[in-house]
Amino acid sequence: MSVKAKPANHTHSIRMPEQIVPPPAAVGARRRVHWQHLVAAPHRVFFFGGVWALVLAVLWWGAVLAARHTALPPPAITLAPQWVHGWLMVFGSFTFFVFGFLMTALPRWVGAKPIAARIYCPVAIGLMCGYLLALLGGLWSTPVAAIGMGLTFLAWLAGVVTLARLFLVHNPERKMHPGWAIAVVGAGCVAALAALFGTSTGHWTALADAPEFAAWAFLAAIVFVVFHRIGPFFAQGALGKEYYQAFRPHWCPPFVVLLLWLHALLTAAGHAEWVFVTDLPLLLVTGWLLLRWQPWKTRSNALLWTLFAAFAWLPIALALSSLQALALLLHDSRILGLAPLHALAVGLAASMVFAMATRVSMGHSGRPLHMDRFNVACFLVLQLAVVTRICAEFHGFTAARGTLLMLSSLFWLCAFAPWAARLSRIYWQPRVDGRPG
C-alpha cells in the first residue's frame, strides 16, 4: 500500500486559534505584569511554582555535591540529603506540573466549566508553602520539614478531591483517561502520606522508599496516561490526518498503570529482583507504542518531537530496570545502581515536563505553537543532564562519579534556569491575543 506524501505547505493550510495575529491593544498590554494574570488560569500559578521548584531543588543538591567533592563547607542538613533530594524532586516539584495540567485539561476532557481560581489557588499556594518549609526544614529543622510535607499532602489531597468530584459530576460516560489520571494522582498522594509518616515518626525507611515508589506508581503512570491521551492527538492535529493517524488502543492505560503499580509494590516490599516480571511486558508495550506512533514523522516540529523524545525514556528506563532486576536475582548485584530511577525521573518526567509545559504555556498565552531554538537548546542540554546522571551509575565511570554528578546538576541548571525565567514572564502577563485565561 502506498503512503501519501506530506504536502510541502500542509502545516500552513489551517490557521489555529493560537496563530491569530493579536490586536494592537493586546500587544501593548503584553508588558503589563500583575499578580491577577498569574492566577488567571490553573497552569499559570502551578507552572510558576513548578519551574522554580525544579531550579531550587537542584541548586540545593548541587551545593551538597560540591561540598562532597570539594573543600567547600557543606550546607547544614538535619535529614539525610538523599532523602530531602528525593522528596523535593518527586513530591515537591513535579506535582506542580501534574495539577497545573490536569486542572487545565480535565474540565475540557469531561465537558465541564473551568475550575474557579478560588478552588485551585489554595491548592497551588499549599504546594508552594509545603515545598519551601520542607526545603528549609531539611536544612535546619526536621519538625519544620514534617510540617512542610504535611502541607504538601493536604494540598495534594485537596487537589485529588477537586479532580475526582469534577470527574464524578460531569463525566457520566466515565471516560478512560480522566479516571485513570485521577487514580494515579491518588496513588501519588498515598506515597506522599508515607513520606510524611516517615519524617514525623522517625521511620526513615518510609521516607527513603516513598520517592522511588512514587516515581513508578505516580510519575511514570501519569506521564503514560496523559501522553497516551494527547501525544497522538497533537501529532495528528499538527500534521493532518492524511499524513498521520492517531493510534490510542484503549487497553493500554489500565494495562500499563496496573503493572507500574505492581512494580512499585514489589520494590516497596523488598522484592526488587522480581520487577522484571512487570518491566519486560511494559518494555514490549511501550516500545511497540513508540514505534507505532512513528515519532520520526514529527522531526520538523520541535513541539512534537520533544514530546516523543521524552516518552522514549520510558522504555529505556524499563530496559535498565529489567537488567537490574535480573542481575539482582542471578548475582545479587545492583549493577546499575540508581540508573533506572534517574532514567525515569530525570529522563522521562523532567523531559516531558519541559516539552509539555512549553507547549501549554505558548498555546494558552495566545502565542504561536512553536518551540524556538532557545528552548530546543535547553531541551538538548537537559538530555545531557540525563545521560551524565545515568553514566555516573555505571561501574566503568566509578572514578569519575563525582564529576559526572556535578556535571549533571550543572547541565540541569543550564537547561531549566533560563527556561524558567522566560516562562515566568509569560505567567505574569496577559494573553497576547486579548482573550481571558
Q: If one looks up domain 32-427 in CATH, what number appears?
A: 1.20.210.10
Whether the pLDDT of residue 397 is over 50: the answer is yes
pTM comes to: 0.90
**Per-residue pLDDT tens over the stretch 312-364:** 999 999 999 999 999 999 998 889 999 999 999 999 999 999 999 999 999 88
**Cα-to-chain-centroid distance, residue 63:** 23
Q: Per mean pLDDT, which range of 169-173, 312-316, 400-404 is the poorest?
A: 169-173
Q: Can you tell me which residue has the cell 545531557? A: 384
Beta carbons within 8 Å of 17's beta carbon, 6+ residues apart: none
Comparing C-alpha atoms, which of 299, 417, 311, 393 is closest to residue 355?
311
Residue 433 pLDDT grade (very low, low, confident, very high; cuts 50, 70, 90): confident
d(C-alpha 90, C-alpha 216), whole Å: 10
Tell me how far apart the alpha carbons of residues 166 and 169 are, in angstroms, rounded to a whole number.
Answer: 5
Report the amino acid identity of residue 154: L
3-state secondary structure of 262: helix
Q: How far apart are alpha carbons 124 and 98 in whole angstroms?
A: 11
Mean pLDDT rounded to a whole number for the chain:
89
172: confidence class by pLDDT, cuts 50, 70, 90: low
